[in-house]
Amino acid sequence: MDPRIYSLIHVFSILMLSGSIFYIAANPQKHKKKKMMAINGIVGLLALVGGFGLIAKLGYSYTAGWVIVKFVAWLFLMALAGMAYKKSKGFVLSGLIVASAVALYMVYFRPF
C-alpha cells in the first residue's frame, strides 16, 4: 500500500482521537462512556496501524528512539480518554497538548 495512505490514516485518526478526548473533557457524560471508549479504542487502533505501517513502508527501525517516544505518547493519549472521566479538565487538556507536541517534535526532528 502507498505510504501516503498510511499517513492519511494515521493523521486522520490522531485528529479524531484528539477531538474525542476534547469532547469527553468538555462534557463527560457517564451514560455515553461505553460508546466513547469504544470509539477511542477503534480510532486509537487505526492510529497505531497507520503509524506502524508508515514506519514499515518508509524503512525506519521500530527500535529508533523517536519511534519509542511516539509509542509512549500514543499510550498516554489512549489512557487520557479514560482519565477524562476521572481527572480534572485542565489535566486532561494539558496532557493532550503536551503528548501531541512531544509526538510532533519526535516525528519532525527525530532527535534520536
pLDDT reported for residue 30: 87
Q: How far apart are CA 39 and CA 44, in angstroms?
A: 8
Q: What is the pLDDT of residues 4-29, one digit of tens each?
A: 999 999 999 999 999 999 999 998 88
pLDDT tens digit sequence for 26-81 = 988 889 999 999 999 999 999 999 999 999 999 999 999 999 999 999 999 999 98
Residue 90: its pLDDT value, please?
A: 94
Tell whether the torsion through CA atoms of 26, 30, 31 and 33 is positive or negative: positive
The pTM is what? 0.91
Which domain range does residue 87 map to?
3-109
- Please say whether the beta carbons of 20 and 36 come within 8 A: yes
The structural domain count of the chain equals 1
Instruction: Tell me how many degrees the CA angle 6-8-9 measures, rounded to the nearest 5.
Output: 65
> What radius of gyration, in Å, describes the C-alpha atoms of the chain?
14
Tell me the mean pLDDT in the region 78-100.
Answer: 94
